[in-house]
Homo-oligomer: A and B are copies of this chain.
Amino acid sequence: MSEIKKVVLAYSGGLDTSIILKWLQEEYDCEVVTFTADIGQGEEVEPARAKAEAMGVKSIYIDDLREEFARDYVYPMMRANAIYEGEYRLGTSIARPLIAKRLIEIANETGADAISHGATGKGNDQVRFELGAYALRPDIKIIAPWREWDLNSREKLMAYAAEHNISVEKKKDGKSQYSMDANLLHISYEGGILEDPWAEAEDDMWRWSVSPEEAPDQAEYVELEFSKGDIVAINGKAKTPATVMAWLNEVGGKHGIGRDDIVENRYVGMKSRGCYETPAGTIMLRAHRAMESLTLDREVAHLKDELMPKYASLIYNGYWWSPEREMMQAMIDQSQRHVNGTVRVKLYKGNVSVVGRKSDTDSLFDERIATFEDDQGAYNQADAEGFIKLNALRLRIGANR
């Protein structure tokens, strides 16, 4: 074990990170700074302060990062229509780089030489935290207790907590068998019966949305206004990124929108099964694509589609703070200059249906040309012959072979 003077811990206030806090103090005999963030997980963050104080922590950081998270992480990612493996909306992935950044900022402010986190050695989150941290401060030391200690079972953890007087609160709803993560973009579930990919998720697992069956029998229409690819108003009312997302989470959840049940490929090499609720994200992505369908040039759209899987993998794998992500972002952001207008969606029992899209300033939809009616010469049908003939030329030469 290397010499550590001061370590910044990503501290939720929950049992696991409280044990880590204590363990760091004991094993490394160093000062621990705690950092707790509100990124929209829907739980109070202030209680973490008292717990940290009780364990003798002097530097306690508690930040409300909701706007920063929505504006600087979720929104840029939405511009890319990012989806990992055709299904996963990257809810956990996109929050980690922000946490990593704050850990390093706090380490710099407090003169700490290390950071620590509560992610296990099997998952993607350790990678995301640590790649971000190394990219932002290459000499940082990182302590990942789950990869180091021998508290590798629930029993040992409980024994350690008891031994060190760490209070084990009963969870309010007691029974959660799942490993969960939540932020403004989503809540996720892993473990428990989900470890059998054939088993259907149980109804009472889901927390943010009602089932489509329980959703209202009445559809709801929503108009989303875009500026440069970002949603800036809903139903004519301007909103900040975080309030856009909070509003859409509530309305989407009410209509049973955004549940996903996926087997995904982790960066560390294994498949895992996760269930996700992403109400706002599901609506945002659908609407963004619709806005682009009206305002984006075809080849720009196709290029974005071809590069999207790579961009999504970068975020999934933890490379937000990498030069290749920044390079791709420069391209994506450049493409969004004209993505302005309004999309109208219908929400009904799990469905997000795009029913209209318009753009006063940037539509590339030209009714005069596209019409089945007489187009007054806007398009010369005879041009199609030459177009086809030259596109066919190489095929014809090939067929002659």
Contact = CB atoms under 8 A, between A and B. Distances in A.
Contacts of A372: 120, 179, 190-191, 195
B394 A212 contact: no
Given A131-B395, A350-B348, A297 B269 contact: no
Interface string A311-354: 00100000101111011101100110010000010101111011
B328 A328 contact: no
Interface stretch (A56-64, A234-242, A374-382): A374-382
A305 B85 contact: yes
Interface stretch (A32-40, A108-116, A159-167, A288-296): A288-296
Contacts of A81: 86
B328 A299 contact: no
A397 interface: yes
Contacts of A85: 293, 301-302, 305
A359 to B, nearest CB: 9
- Best-surrounded residue of A87, A293, A371, A383 (most CB of chain B within 10 A): A383
Contacts of A385: 121, 144, 147, 383, 386
A350 B382 CA distance: 42
Copies of this protein, total: 4
A335 B261 CA distance: 24
Interface in A135-187: 135-138, 144, 146-147, 152-153, 179
Contacts of A322: 297, 299, 395
A302 B309 contact: yes
A394 B269 CA distance: 5
Contacts of A264: 293
A341 B365 CA distance: 43
A108 B37 CA distance: 54
Q: Which 5 A-B pairs have the closest CB atoms?
A: A386-B386, A121-B381, A269-B393, A138-B396, A383-B386
28 contacts: A85-B293, A85-B305, A121-B379, A121-B381, A121-B385, A122-B369, A122-B381, A127-B384, A138-B399, A147-B385, A179-B372, A261-B354, A265-B302, A269-B390, A269-B397, A271-B294, A271-B366, A297-B323, A303-B324, A303-B328, A323-B398, A330-B330, A330-B331, A362-B401, A363-B401, A386-B387, A387-B389, A387-B390
Given A131-B388, A195-B372, A383-B389, 13 more contacts: A126-B388, A153-B374, A197-B358, A198-B356, A269-B393, A271-B364, A271-B366, A299-B394, A303-B324, A323-B335, A383-B385, A386-B386, A387-B387
